[in-house]
Amino acid sequence: MLEDSGFVDVEIGPAVDTFAGASGEANARRFEVFGHAFRARKPG
């Protein structure tokens, strides 16, 4: 999707537990939901 938007050098970071301590933490664990950082640049 990022590349389709014109971004290049797209990198995806490691999985991060973004739900620790949140009210939905149990559901996030059950469904193995994690956050990922994305890094890219738009030439020009």
Per residue in 1-44, pLDDT (tens digit) is: 999 999 999 999 999 998 889 998 999 999 999 999 999 999 98
Whole-number pLDDT of residue 30: 92
Please state the pTM of the whole predicted model.
Answer: 0.62
* pLDDT value of residue 44: 87
> What pLDDT score does 25 carry?
92
CA distance 40 to 23: 31
7-42 residues labelled b (16+ CB within 10 A) or e (exposed): eeeeeeeeeeeebeeeeeeeebeeeeeeeeeeeeee
The backbone torsions φ and ψ at residue 40, rounded to the nearest 5 degrees and listed phi first, read -160, 170
